[in-house]
Amino acid sequence: MADLDYYAILGVDAAASPEEIKRAFRRLTLEFHPDRHPNDPQIAARYRQINVAYDALSDAAKRSRYDMQRRLGQLDLTRGVDGQSARDLLGNMFGDVFGTRRTQRRKGRDLRYTLTVDFAEAVLGSRHTIEFEAPGACTVCSGTGTRPGGREPDGCDVCGGRGEVKGEGLFARRTRCGRCDGTGLIQVEACTACKGAGARRQARAFDVTLPGGTVAGAERLLAGLGEPGRFGAESGDLRVTVNVRPHPRLERDGDDIRCELHVSVSEAACGAHVAVPTVEGDVALDIPAGVKSGTRLRLRGKGVPRTEPKRGAPARGDQLVAVVVETPNVTDGRVRAALEALEQTCNEAAAYPLRANERGGGDGKGGAKLS
């Protein structure tokens, strides 16, 4: 933080007395304490800057050394000067002449929220109302930060309304003004409810619409529904990240949905009418007689809605059902006896011609004794 202007961070003049520095420090630490702004890395970083600045300026010896460095500036002649460095250098030298920065009505910070939805809600699209506590416009001053009927904000007397302060020395850097927090404005008659911030932490509710085909990790942007901006600036945005609960049987594959369907040996051999889960509920699927394990059956139009379907393409993908023939468990003696009887009957009826050919049974039999 050696390049920062500690006086600007605390919002005091370079000739400020120790008492003025202490008052500014107490005011800023109260305003930017992390406990008042949980989970805000920008506020935490600002709080650290304030403490570093006060540590340097509250001690007479440290302040004297810092003032000497500040007057000399931060020019380093041992390094080469590239295009960007030259632009920064000229900006520092002539910024005041050209008026590079004036009053800034700072846009409010964005709010973030993670919305968890079911698999079917993400695929088909859905509407949700989310509620959480976050900074919102102060109801007393309507978000202006000014006491109702009070005087409008005035230009900051420390930075002259620029929002930044230039250190001493020809090549000194510019630092955001700590008095006005870089806005260039000061509340003359601040609202007592929000202390001039224009925002108060409160319960807020939002309606979020997810389009069909929403994927896990997608972000929905609700423009202008974030934290209110200061001094009438536009509000930030609400960014909602979508988390999708996995389905116990369905899985997305692009515009298609995949699932497995376990059938018995009897169902595979004779065919069956089986219920299959989809995002819209169970549907009946005809299993053809003699189906093999690994066969994929298609449910057309039961997949994911296409956001931009190609010309002539269906509006939704398909659901692909992979048939898995389940081998029965023979721990029960009755099941084993039934299978042995089935094996004998199938051998006698030459029901396994492919197996018979592999094992040299030209008569269509070729069975083996079960172990």
State which of 35-49, 149-163, 232-246 shows the largest mean pLDDT: 232-246
Is there a domain that residue 84 lies in? no
Q: What is the reported pLDDT for 272?
A: 95
Stretch 2-31: mean pLDDT: 82
Task: Identify whether residues 267 and 343 lie together within a single domain.
Answer: no
Cα(185)–Cα(161) distance, integer angstroms: 6
Question: Last residue of a domain, which of 246, 261, 296?
Answer: 246
Task: Identify whether residues 127 and 259 lie together within a single domain.
Answer: no
Cα(21)–Cα(228) distance, integer angstroms: 30
Cα(360)–Cα(285) distance, integer angstroms: 37
How far, in whole angstroms, is CA 285 from its chain's centroid? 39
Task: Identify whether residues 257 and 239 lie together within a single domain.
Answer: no
Task: Identify whether residues 311 and 356 lie together within a single domain.
Answer: no
**Banded model confidence at residue 202, pLDDT cuts 50, 70, 90:** very high
Q: Which of 158, 152, 166 is nearest to 184 (CA)?
A: 158
Task: Identify whether residues 258 and 240 lie together within a single domain.
Answer: no
Task: Identify whether residues 121 and 231 lie together within a single domain.
Answer: yes
Question: Last residue of a domain, which of 246, 262, 296?
Answer: 246
Is there a domain that residue 33 lies in? no
* CB neighbour list of residue 9: distance below 8 Å, 6 or more residues apart: 49, 50, 53, 175, 176, 178
213 backbone φψ class: left, alpha, beta (φ>0; ψ -120 to 50) = left
Better pLDDT: 298 or 229: 298
Question: Last residue of a domain, which of 246, 267, 289?
Answer: 246
Better pLDDT: 92 or 219: 219
**Banded model confidence at residue 2, pLDDT cuts 50, 70, 90:** very low
Stretch 110-137: mean pLDDT: 94
Tell me the pLDDT tens digit for each residue of 324-338.
999 999 899 999 999
Q: Which of 241, 275, 278 is nearest to 123 (CA)?
A: 278
Is there a domain that residue 213 lies in? yes
The count of structural domains within the chain is 3
Alpha helices in the chain (DSSP H): 6-10, 18-31, 41-58, 60-72, 83-98, 119-124, 265-270, 333-348, 353-358
Q: What is the reported pLDDT for 275?
A: 96
Cα(344)–Cα(348) distance, integer angstroms: 6
Checking if the pLDDT of 258 tops 90, the result is yes
Is there a domain that residue 312 lies in? yes
* CA distances in angstroms from 53 to 4, 71, 217, listed in the order given: 9, 16, 40
Q: What is the reported pLDDT for 241?
A: 95
**Banded model confidence at residue 104, pLDDT cuts 50, 70, 90:** low
Q: What is the reported pLDDT for 168?
A: 61
Q: What is the reported pLDDT for 162?
A: 84
**Banded model confidence at residue 163, pLDDT cuts 50, 70, 90:** confident
| Domain span holding position 351 | 332-371
Burial 146-175 (b: 16+ CB within 10 A, else e): bbeebeebeebebbebbbbbbbeeeebbbb
Task: Identify whether residues 143 and 238 lie together within a single domain.
Answer: yes
Is there a domain that residue 49 lies in? no
Is there a domain that residue 22 lies in? no
Residue 363 amino acid letter = D
Task: Identify whether residues 134 and 195 lie together within a single domain.
Answer: yes
Contacts of range 156-159, beta carbons closer than 8 Å, 24 or more positions apart: 156/180, 156/183, 156/184, 156/185, 156/186, 157/186, 158/8, 158/11, 158/12, 158/13, 159/8, 159/184
Task: Identify whether residues 279 and 322 lie together within a single domain.
Answer: yes
CATH for 285: 2.60.260.20
Stretch 136-157: mean pLDDT: 90
Task: Identify whether residues 306 and 361 lie together within a single domain.
Answer: no
Say which range, 64-68, 223-227, 340-344, has the weakest mean pLDDT. 64-68
Task: Identify whether residues 261 and 317 lie together within a single domain.
Answer: yes
Cα(60)–Cα(58) distance, integer angstroms: 6
Stretch 65-82: mean pLDDT: 60
Percent of the chain with pLDDT over 70: 85
* CA distances in angstroms from 263 to 49, 85, 300, 302, 355, listed in the order given: 67, 71, 21, 21, 21
Checking if the pLDDT of 83 tops 60, the result is no
Tell me the pLDDT tens digit for each residue of 205-254.
999 999 999 999 999 999 999 999 888 788 999 999 999 999 999 999 99
Task: Identify whether residues 369 and 276 lie together within a single domain.
Answer: no
Is there a domain that residue 361 lies in? yes
Helices (H) and strands (E) in the chain, counts: 9, 15
Checking if the pLDDT of 90 tops 70, the result is no
* CA distances in angstroms from 106 to 102, 117, 192, listed in the order given: 12, 34, 21
- Tally of CA atoms within 13 A in the half-sphere of 14 that contains its CB: 13
Is there a domain that residue 199 lies in? yes
**Banded model confidence at residue 97, pLDDT cuts 50, 70, 90:** very low
Checking if the pLDDT of 362 tops 80, the result is no
Tokens representing residue 133 in the block: 């506590």
106 backbone φψ class: left, alpha, beta (φ>0; ψ -120 to 50) = beta
